[in-house]
Amino acid sequence: MSALTRSLAALAADLDDGLITARGLAEEAIANHEIQGEPLHAYLTWTPTRARKAADAADAAFAAGMRAGPLQGIPVSLKDLFAAKGFPTFAGSNRRLPPAWEEDGPVVASIRRQLGIFMGKTHMVEFAFGGTGQNHHWGAPRNPWDKGVHRSPGGSSSGAGVSLLEGSALLALGSDTAGSVRIPAAMTGTVGLKITLGRWSAAGVVPLSPTFDTPGFLARSVADAAYAFAAIDPAAPRIPSPDIAGLRIGIGDPHLWGECDPGIAEGAKAALDALGAKGAVLREGLLPEAKDAYQVFLAGGFSAIELRNFLDQNLPAWLGELDPVIAPLVMNAEKLPAREYLARLDRMKGLAPPARARFDSFDVIASPTVCITPPPISEAEDADGHWRINRRLVRNTVGVNYLGLCAVTLPVALDCAGMPVGLQFIAAPHAEERLLAVALAAERVLGTARERLGAAPLAAA
């Protein structure tokens, strides 16, 4: 059995006991990428030599009896908008960003202090503006669940989930402004965590919309996600794994459950029914503010104008070279009146308190994470196709960001096209520990992605 198929906690214990080495894990991850990497296209910057050196340093620390942290010796991929010393940052654009974007931010610095192994920088939608994965500068990664058709891997963290499935990383850093962690996690059959705005610093992460940007990550299982969250978050206690019996799960919101492609709502509901059979309390749980927030997104949201401001102030030369799928909205953002932008912000401030109050009666509110089957990437090649698909992709995710909530997605089924279905649990602000505890209990009943869905056709063995 491959060492990389085991949980992060089990690998960390074996590293600590000297039963395996960080260099051995890194070599296996490198070999997986070299076998799978060309067709899957997960990385913009692939750094095996640097990874080997970091692994040797982690092994030397183990040999000296030094334990730097829970992620010591663990292979990690970085979305290409995380600044990291020694790595170029492009943020999905066609040119390297200035040196200021090559210094560790707090999240990256935490993993580096723990002697985690950075494998490279994964592909993304340019400046994280969109959920399809399309990028005309560098190409889109391939979703490993379809051998015959190049389907969307989700975005904007488009290479993150792919890096996990190809076995070149065991944890993948991403960012989430309207769903950019949860969408690729759902579409690749992995786990994605969107934390509460402000819980982790976004310093050192190239901004899309600072009003809503949050760092986050994708993992292979909820157990791995809970382990990584506790490792990165200094305030996080050990996440318990309660029994599913008695946990209160809200279901059935018509906005969050409607207009799904065949097999998606059915797969999510079947998973919830399995939890109910084990004692979870399933009751109607409405979150009407999510629909209202989505209407603000459809009206233009916040990302285009806030990205335009960042580019105007920091990277004006990039404006004329933007990917054609995002260029029209970014260029037209200058026409947005300040009063309309401020009215949208006020609308979100008004919706957030009643949304938070919904969780007085529930531990989580559940929904499908993404309501569409991952489309062929060819359907998102032009701006019209990209944004038509994007509007459906973010329907169930953007409200979490706009309302200041936190959420996790876990894989629970395959849809009628044989593509992964994500089940989203939404929780109150700063309730990540409770959110992950519910997800752990659910995973214990439902099984991991490999146990419930089987292996992706193009995934590492």
Annotated catalytic residues are 79, 156, 180
Q: Could you tell me which residues are beta bridge partners of residue 82?
A: 205
Question: Cα(325)–Cα(355) distance, rounded to whole angstroms?
Answer: 33
Question: Cα(128)–Cα(206) distance, rounded to whole angstroms?
Answer: 9
**Can you list the positions of beta strands (E) in 10-137?**
43-46, 75-79, 117-122
Distances (CA, A) of 269 to 29, 182, 330, 418, 434: 35, 18, 38, 17, 22
Question: Cα(212)–Cα(402) distance, rounded to whole angstroms?
Answer: 7
Q: Could you tell me which residues are beta bridge partners of residue 112?
A: none
Question: Cα(49)–Cα(426) distance, rounded to whole angstroms?
Answer: 40
Distances (CA, A) of 182 to 10, 174, 393, 434: 25, 9, 10, 18
* Beta carbons within 8 Å of 399's beta carbon, 6+ residues apart: 287, 289, 290, 291, 293, 294, 355, 405
> How far from chain centre, in Å, is Cα 396?
14
Question: Cα(29)–Cα(51) distance, rounded to whole angstroms?
Answer: 10
Q: DSSP secondary-structure letter at 157? A: S
Question: Cα(419)–Cα(375) distance, rounded to whole angstroms?
Answer: 10
Question: Cα(28)–Cα(169) distance, rounded to whole angstroms?
Answer: 10
Sheet containing 406-414: order of strands: 43-46, 117-122, 75-79, 171-176, 214-219, 191-194, 406-414, 420-427, 364-368, 248-251, 281-284
Q: Is residue 50 within 8 Å of residue 58, measured between CB atoms?
A: no
Query: Among residues 126, 211, 141, 134, which one has the least CA distance to residue 398?
Result: 211
* Beta carbons within 8 Å of 381's beta carbon, 6+ residues apart: 134, 136, 325
